[in-house]
Chains A and B, each alone.
Chain A
Amino acid sequence: MTTHYLILSGLLFAIGAMGVLIRRNAIVVFMCVELMLNACNLAFVTFSRQVGNLEGQIIAFFVMVVAAAEVVVGLAIIVTIFRTRRSASVDDANLLKY
Chain B
Amino acid sequence: MESHIAEIAQHTGGVIGLSWLMIAFPLVGAFVLLVFGRFTNRWGHLLGVAMSLASFAVAVLAFFELVGFGEEQRRRAVHLYEFIPGMVDMGLLIDPLSISFALLITGVGSLIHIYSIGYMSHDEHRRRFFAYLNLFVAAMLLLVLADNYVGLFIGWEGVGLASYLLIGFWQFKPSAAVAAKKAFVVNRVGDFGLLVGMFLIWTTFGTLAFGELQPITSENPTTLAIGLLLLLGACGKSAQLPLQSWLLDAMEGPTPVSALIHAATMVTAGVYLVVRSGAFFFPEGSGAALAVAIVGAATLLAGAIIGCAKDDIKKGLAGSTMSQIGYMMLGAGLGPAGYAFAIGHLITHGFFKADLFLGAGSVMHGMNDEVDMRKYGGLRKLMPITFATFFIGYLAIIGFPLLSGYFTKDGIIETAVHHQPILGWLAVLGAGITGFYMSRMVFMTFFGQKRWADDAHPHESPSVMTIPLMILSLGALGLGAYLVLSNRLLLFLAPAVGRPEELPAFHFTSTPGLATLALVAVGAAFAWMRYGRAEVPSVQPRGSFLTTFARRDLYGDALNESLFMRPGQWLTRLAVYFDNRGIDGIVNGLAAGIGGSSGRLRRIQTGFARTYALSILIGAALLTGALLLVGNI
Tell me the A residues contacting B by CB distance below 8 Å: 17, 20-22, 29, 90-91, 93-98
A-B contact pairs, 10 of them (CB 8 A): A20-B610, A21-B610, A21-B613, A22-B610, A90-B609, A91-B610, A94-B609, A97-B607, A98-B602, A98-B605
A95: which B residues are within 8 A, CB to CB? 607
Select one of B606, B610, B613, B614 contacting A97, CB under 8 A.
Answer: B606
B602: which A residues are within 8 A, CB to CB? 98
Complex-state Cα separation, A20 to B606, whole angstroms: 17
Do B608 and A98 touch across chains, with their CB atoms under 8 A apart? no
B605: which A residues are within 8 A, CB to CB? 97-98
Residue of A nearest to B604 (CB): A98
Q: Is the interface of B mostly helix, strand, loop or mixed?
A: helix
A91: which B residues are within 8 A, CB to CB? 608-610
Does B542 belong to the interface (CB within 8 Å)? no
A20: which B residues are within 8 A, CB to CB? 610, 613
Do A93 and B609 touch across chains, with their CB atoms under 8 A apart? yes
Do B603 and A17 touch across chains, with their CB atoms under 8 A apart? no
Measured CB to CB, the closest approach of chain B to A25, in angstroms, equals 12
Q: Is the interface of A mostly helix, strand, loop or mixed?
A: loop
Tell me the B residues contacting A by CB distance below 8 Å: 602-610, 613-614, 617
Do A98 and B610 touch across chains, with their CB atoms under 8 A apart? no
Complex-state Cα separation, A73 to B438, whole angstroms: 107
Measured CB to CB, the closest approach of chain A to B602, in angstroms, equals 4
Do A90 and B610 touch across chains, with their CB atoms under 8 A apart? yes
B607: which A residues are within 8 A, CB to CB? 94-98
Select one of A22, A29, A94 contacting B608, CB under 8 A.
Answer: A94
Measured CB to CB, the closest approach of chain B to A7, in angstroms, equals 17
Complex-state Cα separation, A21 to B605, whole angstroms: 17
Query: Which residue of B605, B606, B610, B614 has the most chain A CB atoms within 10 A of its CB atom?
Result: B610
Complex-state Cα separation, A90 to B610, whole angstroms: 8
Residue of A nearest to B606 (CB): A97
Complex-state Cα separation, A98 to B607, whole angstroms: 8
B610: which A residues are within 8 A, CB to CB? 20-22, 29, 90-91
A90: which B residues are within 8 A, CB to CB? 608-610
| Beyond A17-B617, A94-B609, 4 extra complex contacts between A and B, CB < 8 Å | A94-B607, A95-B607, A98-B602, A98-B604
B614: which A residues are within 8 A, CB to CB? 21
Complex-state Cα separation, A98 to B603, whole angstroms: 6
Measured CB to CB, the closest approach of chain A to B314, in angstroms, equals 75
Measured CB to CB, the closest approach of chain B to A91, in angstroms, equals 6
Do B609 and A21 touch across chains, with their CB atoms under 8 A apart? no
Measured CB to CB, the closest approach of chain B to A26, in angstroms, equals 9
A96: which B residues are within 8 A, CB to CB? 607
Residue of B nearest to A90 (CB): B609
B608: which A residues are within 8 A, CB to CB? 90-91, 94
Measured CB to CB, the closest approach of chain A to B597, in angstroms, equals 14
Complex-state Cα separation, A97 to B605, whole angstroms: 5
Residue of A nearest to B607 (CB): A97
Select one of A17, A29, A94 contacting B606, CB under 8 A.
Answer: A94
B617: which A residues are within 8 A, CB to CB? 17, 21
Measured CB to CB, the closest approach of chain B to A48, in angstroms, equals 19
Residue of B nearest to A24 (CB): B610
Measured CB to CB, the closest approach of chain A to B331, in angstroms, equals 85
A93: which B residues are within 8 A, CB to CB? 609
Complex-state Cα separation, A29 to B604, whole angstroms: 22
Measured CB to CB, the closest approach of chain A to B609, in angstroms, equals 5
Complex-state Cα separation, A90 to B613, whole angstroms: 12
Measured CB to CB, the closest approach of chain B to A81, in angstroms, equals 11
Complex-state Cα separation, A82 to B603, whole angstroms: 27
Query: Which residue of B604, B606, B607, B617 has the most chain A CB atoms within 10 A of its CB atom?
Result: B607
A21: which B residues are within 8 A, CB to CB? 610, 613-614, 617
Measured CB to CB, the closest approach of chain B to A63, in angstroms, equals 17
Residue of B nearest to A23 (CB): B610
B613: which A residues are within 8 A, CB to CB? 20-21
The 5 lowest CB-CB distance pairs between A and B, nearest first, are A97-B607, A94-B607, A98-B602, A98-B605, A90-B609
Complex-state Cα separation, A43 to B421, whole angstroms: 117
Measured CB to CB, the closest approach of chain A to B297, in angstroms, equals 82
Residue of A nearest to B614 (CB): A21
Measured CB to CB, the closest approach of chain A to B570, in angstroms, equals 50
Measured CB to CB, the closest approach of chain B to A72, in angstroms, equals 19
Measured CB to CB, the closest approach of chain A to B621, in angstroms, equals 10
Measured CB to CB, the closest approach of chain B to A98, in angstroms, equals 4
A22: which B residues are within 8 A, CB to CB? 610
Measured CB to CB, the closest approach of chain B to A34, in angstroms, equals 15
Complex-state Cα separation, A94 to B605, whole angstroms: 10
A97: which B residues are within 8 A, CB to CB? 605-607
Complex-state Cα separation, A97 to B603, whole angstroms: 8
Measured CB to CB, the closest approach of chain B to A78, in angstroms, equals 12
Complex-state Cα separation, A10 to B603, whole angstroms: 34
Measured CB to CB, the closest approach of chain A to B231, in angstroms, equals 72
Complex-state Cα separation, A95 to B607, whole angstroms: 6
Complex-state Cα separation, A98 to B606, whole angstroms: 7
Query: Which residue of A90, A91, A96, A97 has the most chain B CB atoms within 10 A of its CB atom?
Result: A97
A29: which B residues are within 8 A, CB to CB? 610
Measured CB to CB, the closest approach of chain A to B281, in angstroms, equals 76
Complex-state Cα separation, A29 to B614, whole angstroms: 13
Complex-state Cα separation, A22 to B613, whole angstroms: 10
Complex-state Cα separation, A92 to B500, whole angstroms: 109
Measured CB to CB, the closest approach of chain B to A58, in angstroms, equals 23
Complex-state Cα separation, A36 to B509, whole angstroms: 127
Residue of B nearest to A22 (CB): B610
Residue of B nearest to A33 (CB): B613
Measured CB to CB, the closest approach of chain A to B630, in angstroms, equals 22
Residue of B nearest to A20 (CB): B613
Residue of A nearest to B603 (CB): A98
Measured CB to CB, the closest approach of chain B to A27, in angstroms, equals 14
Residue of A nearest to B605 (CB): A98
Complex-state Cα separation, A91 to B458, whole angstroms: 100
Complex-state Cα separation, A60 to B433, whole angstroms: 116
Measured CB to CB, the closest approach of chain B to A16, in angstroms, equals 11
A17: which B residues are within 8 A, CB to CB? 617
